[in-house]
Structure formats: structure tokens, C-alpha cells
Amino acid sequence: MKHKKSIAVIAYLLLFTSCVGDLDYDISSVVEIPVLSALWTADASQHEVYLCTSGPYEIKEAEEDITIQCYVNGVLKEEKNEYETINDPYSKIILHKYLMNVGLVGGDHVKLIALIGDKKMEAEANVPSAPMVKIDTSSFQDYASAVYHNYRIYDVTLTVKDEPGKENFYRLFSPTVFTEAWDDETGEKRSESGGKYVQIDDKDPIFKNIDLVFPKEITLELPFLSHAISNDTHIFSDELFSDEEYQFHFQIAQGSYLPYPVDDGDPLTYRVRFRLAQLSKEEYLYLVAANAAASAILDPFAEPVIMPSNIVGGLGVFCIRNGTDEVISLKPGRF
């Protein structure tokens, strides 16, 4: 028995020592690579381009003498060499931000070029068409949920009409609620509050969402991780409804998303802004990777995520989405 134990101990030591050693890891001679990030929205008039430099061991500030050119359908529309320095507090990376004033519509072909001395980076993107949406609303009074007031609940359906004959990709943004208070006597608006987001149903199968499972030791320290999901950006393709339409349902209730009016207070009106964007395939795949990277940050045992790049002469991503905004007014909350 002692002989067998000795063999086991020797085998363990050999295994352990065979896995420990110094690796020859010297990448100090690796050439620095410029990095460009530009995620544009076609329905905006001003667009941002961010630049930095990837070195062998750290992300550095980009060179100062850089010119950014933007061509739309082969015509030079904007050229900039002025930038704003951004010190990102989260990543501690220093970025150069260039603002490009370019109008875009669906179908445009856009080429972005960064001239860096005698070198250049370039990337191309096609502007998708704006998605077609329809919104339907209904509401009902829930007397059982309030003692002194009639309690109203609004049901809203957002219908996405798929663009036929092609593979399409979309992103759904959280609807935003705005509340306006009005003066009874003058009819003037006294105040407006907003920025309250309506929750999206993460269990909707269109998102292909899965609950992320982390080691028990991590969830004990960080309980919120037990509710983490894999598609925080709420992107989806038309795989399940190709050439048809798909419906999203939202329930917006007084007392939760909508402030309840008081008897002697100003009359209130409610507005809700819905936003849906059509993405290029490049941006869709980039956001798929971004979702995976966000999940990997939370899990120390996750595999590294390689972010896609469509930049020639450097690293990074250049994509353009096209969004549709719909704003609806809800019946005032005093009955």
C-alpha cells in the first residue's frame, strides 16, 4: 500500500512540475496598430469617429496629425483633422473624437478614410433602409389595484414589418416615457420629466436569449449575476419571421412607469418614444460579439472573445444603422 502511495505522489509531483515554467513571451517588438471605432446612425446629422493606438502591452493615444475623410456614393462630403480628446473613465483609454457632419439616407454607400502620415485606414458601409413599424394601443381601468383612484394600464403593440427578399437584422431599444405637467389656467407646460425606460421582455424567443450560469462562488458574492442574460443589446434577425411581421408587446401602468396625478396637482400628459433600428450584418455580428464580451467580463472562466473588424490598414469597426422613432401620446391619467 505504501508503495502505491509513493508512486501516486511521484506522479502528482511530475505532473505539477511539468506544468510550471517560464514562457518566452516578449512582444515588445510588435508594430503598433491604429484602432478606429465609428458606429453611426443614419437618421442623425452628426457622427462620431474615435481613434486610438493598440500597442504591444497597452492602448495608447492616437497620433495628432490624422485627417478623417468621409465619401458618400463616391463624393467627398466631409474632411476633418480637428478632434476632441476624451479620457474614458471606465477603460482609462485616451481617445480622439472627430465629429463628421454628413447627411445619410437608406441605400447610400459610405467610405471612411483615416490618413495617418503616409499610411491610411479605410472602411466601407452601406446604409440599410429604415425599418417599417406600426403601433397599436389599448387601455383599461383596473379598479382593484387602487383604492382612491381609477388605475389605468396601457397595452402597446409594436409591429415590425420585415423588408422582403433579403436577410435583415434589427435592434430594439427600450421605450422611453416622458411625463408633462400643464397649468390648468394658462394651458402652458410647467415641467417635463423623462428618461424612464420601459422594460423589454427578455424571454421573447426572437432574442434567442439564454440565462448566463456562473459558478456558485461568484453568484454568492455578486447576486445580481443570477439574473444576467446573453443579449443585453436586444438584437435579432428576421430568421423567425422572414418577409412577414413580428409583434412586441409592452404594458405601461400608472403607478410604475407613469406618475399618478394628485387631486390638486397639475394635469398630466404622457408620451412614449419607441425606437427600432435596422442593422447591417456587420454591426449585427459586432453586437453579437459585444454581448459575448460583456458576459465574459463577468465570468472569470469564460473563453476570450475576438471582436470582428472591418477596417483595412488597422483594427476596429465602422457600421451604420438606420432607425425609426415613433412617439405616441397616452390618454391623461385623470378620469
Q: Residues 33-126: name the CATH superfamily.
A: Immunoglobulins (2.60.40.10)
Question: How many helices and strands in the chain, by DSSP H and E?
Answer: 3, 17
- CA dist 117 and 251 (Å) reads 55
Output the pTM of the full model.
Answer: 0.82
Would you write out the chain's pLDDT as a tens digit for each of its 335 residues? 444 444 444 343 344 444 556 667 677 777 889 999 999 999 999 999 999 999 888 889 998 899 999 999 999 999 999 999 999 887 789 999 999 999 999 999 999 999 998 899 999 999 999 999 999 988 877 655 555 455 778 899 999 999 999 999 999 999 999 888 877 777 788 777 777 899 999 999 999 987 766 667 777 776 666 666 789 899 999 999 999 999 999 998 877 777 766 555 667 788 899 999 999 999 999 999 999 888 777 666 778 888 999 999 999 999 999 999 999 988 665 44
Burial annotation 91-108 (CB, 10 A radius, 16+ → b, else e): eebebbebebebebeeeb
Burial classification of residue 121, based on how many CB atoms lie within 10 Å of its CB (0-12 exposed, 13-18 middle, 19 or more buried): buried
Three-state DSSP at 23 gives coil
Cα–Cα distance measured from residue 322 to residue 275, given in angstroms and rounded to the nearest whole number: 10
Domain 132-278+322-330 has CATH 2.60.40: yes
What integer pLDDT is reported at residue 13 of this predicted model? Answer: 39
How much is the pLDDT for 2?
A: 45
Cβ atoms of residues 201 and 248 within 8 Å = yes
Query: What pLDDT is attached to residue 16?
Result: 45
Domain boundaries, the chain: 33-126, 132-278+322-330
